[in-house]
Every structure is written in structure tokens, then in C-alpha cells.
């Protein structure tokens, strides 16, 4: 599969995750198989949202074209990036729509699933997340939603509704981890190159 040399891909992990996550490693393996691992970044993001956005902005600003692959909280970050950078598009994998509401009950000490880093999740984190929340999307055409209805962490209907003006692939069953994610990677490349077959898209009611 041909990937344009001017496109840089960025895998954006979720809350308390890291580049060691299963989907991140699957993505890196796929790019290695294609011989273009140098066109993929998998940054380890700060747990402070403002710092995480700064890391992503730095990567996007260095790219001619950027395609973000954002999982869960990473999908939330990726949406913000695409609204603010004309050279960025994103694929959102079971994304969090309003994480400041989702995570507020979890305030207190928490731990990264992969690195073991412990820290306090505070009101500062929530304020930074809320500051990034977009009540509406001005560039939904820059996004592709990959959503599984069996997501046990997030209500899939929130994402389907919020991203109703974007292209979507919505699957029954599955989980928050997005089962069979590796089968989506060729479609992610096709979305990046503008060659995704519209016949595979899920046609959802516009709200």
C-alpha cells in the first residue's frame, strides 16, 4: 500500500495508556511491515491535558500533512487538533466526547496501566480538559469515526451523535479496546490518502 511521503501519522493513546498499549504496538508493527515506520510517531503523552496538546501541536506543526489515530481520550485530543490545524485529519477510535465529565468521578490517586506511574488526578486536569471541549465541530469532514457498540467504558451513542457529520464505521459488539483493530489499519491508510471506499461507511441519521 502506497503512503504519501509527505504524510506523517501520529498514534494518540488514551487515558492512563502509553505507547506500550496493544493498539499502539499493532499500529507500529503494521507500519514496520509497510516499511514506513519513520512516518509514524507514537508519543508518550503527559497526563496533563494542556501539556499533551502541546506535544501533539509540536508534531503536527512539523509535518506537511498529519493523520492522527486517536484512541479514547486520544480521540478527544485529535478532534481538537483537526479543528485548529488545516494540515491535520484524524481517525477516532471509540473516542471520549466529554472526558471532563467522564473522569471527574475518578479524582484522586491513579496509575498508568502500562508504565506504573502514579499521580493525582485533580481539578486542574478537569479544567484543562473542559477548556479543550468543543461544543460543535466546524470541520467534521476531517474526521473518521471508528466505533464499536459494545464499548463498556463509553456510551457509543455519544460519539455517533457528536460526530454525526463525519464519516463513520460503526460495528455491533466489540469493546472499548476495539476488537479487531488491526483490520482497520488498511482503511485508516485509505482515509489518509483519500481513497476510502464510501461503500464501507455506516450511514447514520444526521442529528
Q: Tens of pLDDT along 99-143? A: 999 999 999 999 998 889 999 999 999 999 999 999 999 999 999
Q: Which residue has the cell 502514579?
A: 118
Give me the phi and psi of 109, to 5 degrees please.
-70, 135
**Cβ-based neighbour number of residue 102 at 10 Å:** 19
Between CA 192 and CA 177 the distance in angstroms is: 22
Domain assignment present for residue 151? The answer is: yes
For 198, the grid coordinates are 464510501
For the chain, what is the domain count? 1
Domain assignment present for residue 113? The answer is: yes
Domain assignment present for residue 1? The answer is: no
The average confidence (pLDDT) of the chain is 94
Q: How confident is the model at residue 55 (pLDDT cuts 50, 70, 90)?
A: very high
Beta bridge partners of 88: 66
Alpha helices in the chain (DSSP H): 22-34, 49-61, 73-84, 99-103, 123-132, 156-162, 185-193
Global pTM reads 0.95
Domain assignment present for residue 58? The answer is: yes
Give me the pLDDT at residue 206, please: 41
Nearest to 70 by CA among 60, 61, 62: 60
State the residue range of the domain holding 153. Answer: 7-200
Domain assignment present for residue 176? The answer is: yes
Nearest to 96 by CA among 60, 47, 52, 132: 132
Domain assignment present for residue 69? The answer is: yes
**Cβ-based neighbour number of residue 136 at 10 Å:** 8
Domain assignment present for residue 19? The answer is: yes
Domain assignment present for residue 81? The answer is: yes
Report the CATH number that the domain containing residue 175 is assigned in CATH: 3.40.50.1820
Amino acid at each position: 500500500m502506497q503512503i504519501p511521503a509527505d504524510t506523517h501519522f501520529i498514534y494518540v493513546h488514551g487515558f492512563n495508556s502509553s505507547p506500550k498499549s496493544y493498539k499502539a504496538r499493532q499500529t507500529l508493527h503494521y507500519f514496520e511491515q509497510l516499511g514506513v515506520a519513520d512516518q509514524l510517531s507514537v508519543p508518550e503523552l503527559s497526563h496533563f491535558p494542556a501539556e499533551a496538546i502541546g506535544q501533539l501541536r509540536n508534531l503536527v506543526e512539523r509535518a506537511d500533512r498529519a493523520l492522527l489515530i486517536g484512541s479514547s481520550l486520544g480521540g478527544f485530543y485529535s478532534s481538537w487538533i483537526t479543528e485548529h490545524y488545516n494540515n491535520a485529519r484524524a481517525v477516532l477510535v471509540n473516542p471520549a466526547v466529554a472526558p471532563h465529565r467522564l473522569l471527574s468521578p475518578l479524582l484522586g490517586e491513579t496509575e498508568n496501566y502500562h508504565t506504573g506511574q502514579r499521580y493525582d488526578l485533580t481539578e486542574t486536569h478537569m479544567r484543562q480538559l473542559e477548556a479543550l471541549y468543543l461544543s460543535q465541530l466546524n470541520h467534521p469532514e476531517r474526521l473518521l469515526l471508528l466505533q464499536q457498540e459494545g464499548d463498556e467504558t463509553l456510551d457509543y451513542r455519544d460519539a455517533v451523535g457528536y460526530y454525526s457529520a463525519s464519516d463513520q464505521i460503526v460495528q455491533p459488539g466489540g469493546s472499548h479496546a476495539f476488537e479487531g483493530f488491526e483490520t482497520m489499519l488498511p482503511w485508516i491508510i485509505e482515509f489518509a490518502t483519500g481513497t476510502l471506499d464510501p461503500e464501507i461507511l455506516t450511514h447514520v441519521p444526521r442529528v
